[in-house]
Amino acid sequence: MFGFGGGKFYEERPINKGFNYVYNIVITSLCFSLFNLPWIVASLILSFQIETALFYLAAAFSAGPAFVSAMYTITKIKRKESFNKLKVFFMGYKHNFFCSLKIWLPYLLFLALLIANIRVVWLSFENAALLLLFVFIGVFVTIGIIYALIFIAKFELTSIKAIKLGIFYSLRKVLRSFLFAFVIFVFFVIDRSNMLITIAIGWGLLVVISDKIASPFVKEIMFRSNLQEPTLPADEELMPLDIELQAQDSEEKNYPRS
């Protein structure tokens, strides 16, 4: 009825589409878990507390590129369901690996410094306002970085431009940012209580929710850049990106990622 590569029912009834959609999320979640093994291992052997936070950050090295690849795959699933998910995931991982690391590694370093400062303030039991400020900064930067990863999964952007857009939208829509942060918090609570759920469907579901939350911003970027999604050719699954940002100014065309 459906296989690992295609995952599509032959009948197009709504219930079949629903099952197929869940199946696609599961496949994406499993692929994400495969590329995020260091984090899974760290979750199994370490308790999550501020003293072990640095070990978790080191284990999260591969999570950024894996998230971008999962977002890339989910984006293609929304447009065309019958293709090899594993192949597309690998393709998205390879294409976006270095660009995503340029965003993800500085963010992990930022988190390490932020956690160190929070620990100092926490142990001193002084200046609760400063502690709250650190938390707020962490929330907005985290959401901004996630937005940036979503943008590079959908557009051909430099890492610097993606970060600027991500931070801008995280500050522009404060309530949406806190809602997003709450979703991520709930996800990690579930991850700590039942990792099998996270591996089987949790990661894929988090990517889908992230895509929904960032959808208005993606549409706005397309509108402001006068973009339209290209017509899909027969070999669409071989395209490196779903959407490419084409600068209106000829001098800005084909700019390299940085």
Tell whether the model's pLDDT for residue 16 goes beyond 90. Answer: no
Rounded distance between C-alpha atoms, residue 200 and residue 184, angstroms: 17
Q: Which two tokens stand for residue 127?
A: 């200046």
Tally: H helices and E strands in the chain: 10, 0
Tell whether the model's pLDDT for residue 119 goes beyond 50. Answer: yes
Contacts of 63 (CB under 8 A, 6+ apart): 36, 39, 104
Question: What is the residue type of 258?
Answer: S
Confidence band for 102, pLDDT divided at 50, 70 and 90 = very high
Rounded distance between C-alpha atoms, residue 21 and residue 7, angstroms: 9
Rounded distance between C-alpha atoms, residue 67 and residue 25, angstroms: 13
Q: Which residues of 128-162 are buried (b: 16+ CB within 10 A; e: fewer)?
A: eeebeebeeebbbbbbbbbbbbbbbbbbbbbbebb
Q: What is the pTM of this model?
A: 0.78
Q: Residue 185 class from Cβ within 10 Å (0-12 exposed, 13-18 middle, 19+ buried)?
A: exposed
Which phi and psi (to 5°) does residue 10 adopt?
Answer: -75, -30
User: pLDDT for 132-168, tens place per residue?
Assistant: 888 899 999 999 999 999 999 988 888 999 999 999 9
User: pLDDT for 30-83, tens place per residue?
Assistant: 989 888 888 888 888 877 777 777 888 888 899 999 999 999 888 887 776 556
Question: What is the residue type of 218?
Answer: V
Contacts of 145 (CB under 8 A, 6+ apart): 103, 104, 107, 163, 166
Tell whether the model's pLDDT for residue 184 goes beyond 50. Answer: yes
Confidence band for 105, pLDDT divided at 50, 70 and 90 = very high
Rounded distance between C-alpha atoms, residue 176 and residue 87, angstroms: 33
